[in-house]
Amino acid sequence: MVVPDATPGEELICLKCGYELRGLTSRDCPECGASFDPDHISKHPIPWTMRRELGRFSAYWRTVWLVMAHPKRFCLHIARPVSLADARRFQWVTVGLVMIAAVVVTIVVSMHFDVRGITGNLPSRLWPLERLLSMVPPNSLPIVFNVLLVGFLIPATGMHTYWFHPSVLTIRRQNRALALSYYCCAPLAWASVTACVAVAAYLRRYLPDAWQTGALIAVADTLFIYCQYLLVILLVLWWGLPQLTARRAHVLGPFETLGLALGLPALWLGLAAVVFGAVPAIGFYASLLIHSLF
C-alpha cells in the first residue's frame, strides 16, 4: 500500500534514521529497515491537547506519563502541527505545581529552622547576606524565596528551547520541535509530588506520641530518604529529557546534543546566580542607599 498524506502539512519521518516516509509502498523504512505506523499520530494525539474531552487533571498526568515513559511515541508528534500555546500552558501548569510544593516546603522550613541563626556562623566576607536577611521580616523570607524561585523556574523550563530550532530544519519543523520542547519540563511535575511526600514524612516526628509506632516511624523515615534520592533522579531527568527528545525527533545531531547537555546546566547556574545572587544584592545595596538618605 502507498502511505497516504493524511493531513495537509503533516510529515512522516523515521524516528530511527530521520528518513522521509511519505509515499512509500511498505511500512518499513528503506533506509534502516525500522517499521512504522502512519496512522499512529492521528489515533494518539498528545493528551494535553484533548483536555476538554479528557478533563484537565487526567490530560495533564497522561501527558506527563507520555513524555517520560514513552519518549519515542511522544517524538512522533513532530510529524504533525503542534500547538505552541498548548505547550506553554503545560509549562505554566508544571511551574505552578512546583511552586505549590515550594510554598509547602518553605513554610515547613521556616517553622522549624532558624535561618538567621545559620547566617550568624557565616564567614565575615559574607556579611552582606547576613545584613540583608536581618533587614527582611522573618515571615517574609519564604515569600521572598518563592518570588525568586518563580523568576528562576519560568526561564529555566524554557532555556533548552533555544536548541530546538536549528536553521537546518524547515520553518515548519522548527516550530513543531520548539512546541514539543516545552513538554520536557514534565519530570518537575513528579518532583513537586515527591517534595510534598517528603515534607509529609518529615512532619511525622511532630505527631502525638501515641501515634509514634515503630511501623509508622520506619515507613516515614524510609519515605523521606527515598524521596530525596527520587528528587535527584527527577532533576537529572529534567536535564536529560531535552537531549533525548532532540535526538529522537532528529532535531539535533550528536555534537549539537552534546552542546545542549553541557550548555543547559551552565545556563541554569548562570540564571541561578543572577536570580538568587545578583537580584538580592541589588536589592540590598538599593536599600542601603535609601536608608542612607533618611
Task: Please tell me the predicted confidence (pLDDT) of residue 268.
Answer: 96
Tell if the pTM clears 0.85, that is, is over it: no
At residue 226, does pLDDT exceed 50? yes
Q: Are residues 83 and 106 in the same domain?
A: yes
**Span 263-277, average pLDDT:** 93
22 lies in the same domain as 107? no
Domain range for 57: 46-293
pLDDT bracket for residue 45 (50, 70, 90): confident
Across the chain, how many H-helices and E-strands are there?
13, 0
Regarding predicted confidence, which is higher, 26 or 219? 219
Q: Give the position of cell 519540563.
A: 185
Are 161 and 235 members of one domain? yes
- DSSP 3-state of 268: helix
Residues 123, 8, single domain; the answer is no
**Confidence at residue 48, expressed as pLDDT on a 0 to 100 scale:** 94
Would you call 231 helix, strand, or coil by DSSP? helix
- pLDDT value at residue 9: 47
Kindly state whether residues 130 and 35 are assigned to the same domain. Answer: no
Looking at the fold, whether 245 and 282 belong to one and the same domain comes out as yes
* Residue 82 vs residue 207, higher pLDDT: 82
Residues 6 or more apart in contact with residue 150 via CB below 8 angstroms: 95, 99
Helix (H, G, I), strand (E, B), or coil: what is residue 46? coil
Note whether 162 and 69 are same-domain residues: yes
Closest CA to 159 of 55, 263, 78: 263
Is there a single domain that holds both residue 5 and residue 75? Answer: no
Residues 111 and 134 in one domain: yes
Q: How far apart are CA 87 and CA 73, in angstroms?
A: 17
Count how many domains the chain has. 2
Residues 17 and 146 in one domain: no
Between CA 119 and CA 134 the distance in angstroms is 10
Same domain assignment for residues 158 and 24: no
CA distance 31 to 20: 9
Taking residue 206's Cβ as centre, other Cβ atoms within 10 Å add up to 9
72 and 157 within one domain: yes
